[in-house]
Structure 1
Amino acid sequence: MDRNDILKQIQENVRLLSAYDAPEYKYIPLHQKPSPSVVRIQELMNLLRSVIFPGFFDDVQEIREESLPYYLGVYLEQIYDLLHEQIYHGLCFETDDCSCSVKQKASELAIGFINRIPYVKYLLSTDVKAILDGDPAAKSVSEIIFCYPAILAMLHQRVAHELYVAGIPVLPRIITEMAHSRTGIDIHPGACIGEYFSMDHGTGIVIGQTAVIGNHVRLYQGVTLGAKSFTLDEEGLPMDVPRHPIIEDDVTIYSNASVLGRITIGKGSIIGGNIWLTHSVPAGSKIVQSRVVEDHFHAL
């Protein structure tokens, strides 16, 4: 094809794609707001991982106990600067207000999160312990921190949850979706998850926004803690109301079970694999499938 013909066709498509207010594209507006940077947020998560798991993922050859305070100070200052910038961009993205007062609010939110990092580290230490206690294939704490996708997913979720609770827009969802794409574990930043939480294998686990999970809960691969239905407003749009399960302490849910709706799974219950559960069960329940009936046919 002649180069001039190619350029003419390109220009025609430029004209069509530039019509950002055309009715065909009404759900894709021209975006002109400051936006968070996925690259910068990944830098932030790498720094947080180094702070929470010191010595495991650092570029430096070796961090010693006596030098740890120095490195933590450097990392936390970098985390503050990155987070301040990204929260500010997130607030501008959400409200169109990029004034000095918004920048000051971003600063306060960033240092507020810094003050929560020790608690996030504590929660993640309980998650590591839960995996170590519950998985005979786990040989050491170091192996769990280095290799287990559940720990990567929970690092992202617990960080994102703190930002979500603080009312910071956009960033929490970006952070959990980073882990989702890498691990296949999809946990909304709004989900409230207690201590000593473990996911065995983890692939395919889905935990919805308003789910509440107690302490010492264990999920296996493919578990869904989802919504059964949505409450609609007067315009027919889904309302953001509690719609996901409450899982009390010491519950185990086996692979590919779907627990749906705002129901409660009582303390110490066991939910078997491939169960579809849409009603609450009391403490100490054991929900399993009916026994499989095997038919044996003999070849003629």
Structure 2
Amino acid sequence: MSQDFYQHIFAKQQNLEAVPSNREITAWALKVIHLLYPEQTGQLYASVDELKDEFLRLENELCEIMRATKACSNCDTSKLAKKFFEGLPELFRILNTDIQAIFNGDPAARSEFEVIRTYPGFYAISLYRVAHSLYIDDIPLLPRILTEYAHSKTGIDIHPAAKIDEYFYIDHGTGIVIGESCTIGKHVKLYQGVTLGALSVDKSMANTKRHPTVEDNVVIYSGATILGGETIIGHNSVVGGNVWLTKSLPPNSRVYHTPNHRILKRLSMKLFGEKK
């Protein structure tokens, strides 16, 4: 490589101010979640005052992260950090509804502790809810870092701007995509491989509603793709696996993909140990 290349990279480093790494930012969010759900780590505190001090420490840490990343040029980072932590009781309440939805909806779930400790769906949802709380206060960068980290860990890609109501249930989850302007109602259940995406990725549509609306009590099975900002899945509907939708469904709809299957060759039962 040429000396000019080294000089170019070095110049970039000199112009880049020190900011917390994505790992440090994500570690902060995970510590908040672990305080809300000690089931995830088993870490306990000796007193309420000690717990309160830890919340205050994380509030100050958020303030410093926002200052270091220049999250906003003319805002009061202390005020924003305080607002986020004052909203934690409501965030905790909503997360508890998500836990309840997963526990009630999955026959394999033996306890809420198991959901909190092991389910990738809850892991992704919890980081999304923290990220969304930051996003609605116009804090840039940090929300996307958090949801992309959850994406890398679980395969579940939720944009922090998406609006998702309570009792949200992700089953399995790998490959789910929920776009930026998506709106999801209460008691919605998504299986793996579901895409709630845009019909077009043209840059001119950046500030428009490009992603679907899913109303209350909807189930969307694995591999379904639903596209478009004007597409509405009406309440109490079921979308079957591998369905492709670009138009709205009225409430109480049932839509399924119906492939044609043809048996090419029937295998001899001898292969399975059948005796003559």
Common fold by TM > 0.5: yes
Mapping for residues 125-274 of structure 1, pairs under 5 Å: 125-233=96-204, 238-262=205-229, 263-274=231-242
Structure-2 change in CA distance of 1:29 and 1:260 (3 Å): farther
CA offsets 1:7-49 (integer angstroms, 9 cap, x no match) = xxxxx53422323699xxxxx8975245343232133123212
Counterpart code for 1:89 = A
Conservation of the 8 A alpha-carbon contact between 1:90 and 1:168? no
1:16 paired with 2:5, answer: yes
Instruction: Choose from 83, 86, 107 the match for 2:65.
Output: 86
Segment of structure 1 superposing worse, 37-46 or 198-207:
37-46
Task: Return the alpha-carbon distance in structure 2 between the equivalents of residues 13 and 298 of structure 1.
Answer: 64
SS in 2 for 1:17: helix
- Percent of residue pairs identical: 40
Conservation of the 8 A alpha-carbon contact between 2:39 and 2:117? no
The gaps in structure 2 that reach 5 residues or longer are 269-276
Conservation of the 8 A alpha-carbon contact between 1:145 and 1:151? yes
CA offsets 1:60-117 (integer angstroms, 9 cap, x no match) = 4xx57xx3x224302211211110011112326x6xx5xxx65xx1111100100111
Task: Give 1:295 shift.
Answer: 3.6
1:72 paired residue number = 51
Structure-2 change in CA distance of 1:73 and 1:216 (3 Å): same
Task: Return the alpha-carbon distance in structure 1 between the equivalents of residues 24 and 200 of structure 2.
Answer: 36
Structure-2 change in CA distance of 1:112 and 1:145 (3 Å): same
Task: Give 1:299 shift.
Answer: 7.8
Task: Give 1:293 shift.
Answer: 3.7
The gaps in structure 1 that reach 5 residues or longer are 1-11, 23-27
Mapping for residues 80-119 of structure 1, pairs under 5 Å: 80-91=59-70, 97=73, 102=75, 105-119=76-90
Task: Return the alpha-carbon distance in structure 2 between the equivalents of residues 206 and 245 of structure 1.
Answer: 12
Instruction: Choose from 11, 22, 31 the match for 1:38.
Output: 22
Segment of structure 1 superposing worse, 169-178 or 31-40:
31-40
SS in 1 for 2:38: coil
Task: Return the alpha-carbon distance in structure 1 between the equivalents of residues 199 and 133 of structure 2.
Answer: 27
CA offsets 1:205-228 (integer angstroms, 9 cap, x no match) = 110111000000000001010111
Conservation of the 8 A alpha-carbon contact between 1:249 and 1:267? yes
Counterpart code for 2:254 = K
Structure-2 change in CA distance of 1:298 and 1:143 (3 Å): closer
Conservation of the 8 A alpha-carbon contact between 2:162 and 2:179? yes
Counterpart code for 1:43 = A
Structure-2 change in CA distance of 1:241 and 1:202 (3 Å): same
1:292 paired with 2:260, answer: yes
TM-score by length of 2: 0.88
Q: How many residues align?
A: 267
Task: Return the alpha-carbon distance in structure 2 between the equivalents of residues 124 and 270 of structure 1.
Answer: 24
SS in 1 for 2:122: helix
Counterpart code for 1:281 = L
SS in 2 for 1:225: strand
